[in-house]
């Protein structure tokens, strides 16, 4: 195993890519749809041009990046690139406390760098029009509903990770593609409800970027994207251990 510092760097870079390409896709969608007249208040622009296809595109941008990071850095750090995943592996005694804390910090730093780098790549429209792809509950969705949706989405994501990767009997080699596609599918359905973050770092990066670059202050929504994903991932890991254990 490589040193903790190198593994933390891998987590940082992996999460940077996740936010740059994934949240970046949401930014570009909003910029392309900018000025379009939407039919309902529920449609904030993502979906104005391609309906649910807009969300599939964003979902795939996330999913393909996740697959690339898992295949690229999975053997180095484990490629969690999500504090909810690191915490769930830690909570089920699969991952040491010290490593988990390092990983979470590295993921948050990477996500922030990813957002800032995307803003630098695109310009201020990425902040003012695209909000750096920050997640917020959509019009008509309550705080509690958003937490519930993030919980359910991350529960499915973590169940896929447990079955396709953590389980000793998992078929080797498929985890990256399966987990990438799982995230793409989850975002397709949940994107227009809670933003489908499934990942506290993925929301932290754009929130910090928006704050630093003069965009909206969205921090009031941040607990949604910590409570939902972390509880969802931990419950899924515990659920998998219970449901897969032979008596």
Site for another protein, rule CB under 8 A? 1-2, 7, 70, 74-80, 85, 89, 94-95, 161, 165-166, 172, 175-176
- Rounded to a whole number of angstroms, the minimum distance from the CB of residue 128 to another protein is 37
For residue 165, the Cα-to-chain-centroid distance in whole angstroms is 18
Q: Which is nearer to another protein, 82 or 194 (CB)?
A: 82
Shortest separation between residue 39's beta carbon and another protein, angstroms: 41
- CA nearest to 107, candidates 81, 86, 85: 81
- Minimum CB–partner distance for residue 165 and another protein (Å): 5
Q: How many residues does the chain have?
A: 247
CA 176, 8, 114, 90 torsion: positive or negative? positive
**What is the greatest pairwise CA distance in the chain?**
60
CB of 12 to another protein, least distance (A): 15
Q: Considering beta carbons, is residue 1 or 214 the nearer one to another protein?
A: 1
Pick between residue 165 and residue 218 the one whose CB is nearest to another protein: 165
Please, what is the end-to-end C-alpha distance for the chain in angstroms? 33
Closest to another protein by CB, 172 vs 214, is 172
Residue 88: how many CA atoms within 13 Å on its side-chain side? 34
């Amino acid at each position: 195993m490589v040193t903790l510092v190198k593994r933390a760097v891998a987590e940082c870079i992996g999460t940077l890519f996740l936010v740059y390409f994934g949240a970046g896709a949401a930014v570009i969608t909003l910029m392309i749809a900018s000025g379009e007249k939407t039919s309902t208040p529920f449609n904030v622009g993502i979906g104005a041009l391609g309906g649910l296809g807009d969300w599939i595109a964003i979902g795939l941008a996330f999913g393909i990046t996740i697959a690339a990071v898992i295949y690229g850095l999975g053997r180095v750090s484990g490629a969690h690139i999500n504090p909810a995943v690191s915490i769930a592996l830690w909570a089920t005694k699969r991952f040491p406390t010290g490593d988990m804390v390092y990983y979470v910090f590295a993921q948050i730093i990477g996500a922030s760098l990813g957002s800032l780098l995307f803003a630098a790549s695109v310009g201020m429209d990425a902040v003012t029009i695209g909000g750096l792809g920050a997640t917020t509950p959509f019009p008509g969705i309550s705080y509690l509903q958003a937490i519930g949706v993030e919980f359910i989405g991350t529960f499915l994501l973590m169940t896929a990770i447990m079955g396709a990767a953590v389980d000793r009997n998992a078929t080797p080699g498929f985890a990256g593609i399966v987990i990438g596609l799982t995230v793409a599918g989850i975002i397709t359905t949940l994107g227009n409800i809670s933003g489908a973050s499934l990942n506290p770092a993925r929301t932290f990066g754009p929130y910090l970027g928006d704050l630093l670059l003069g965009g909206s202050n969205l921090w009031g929504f941040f607990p949604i994207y910590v409570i939902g994903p972390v509880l969802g991932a931990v419950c899924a890991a515990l659920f998998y251990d219970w449901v897969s254990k032979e008596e």
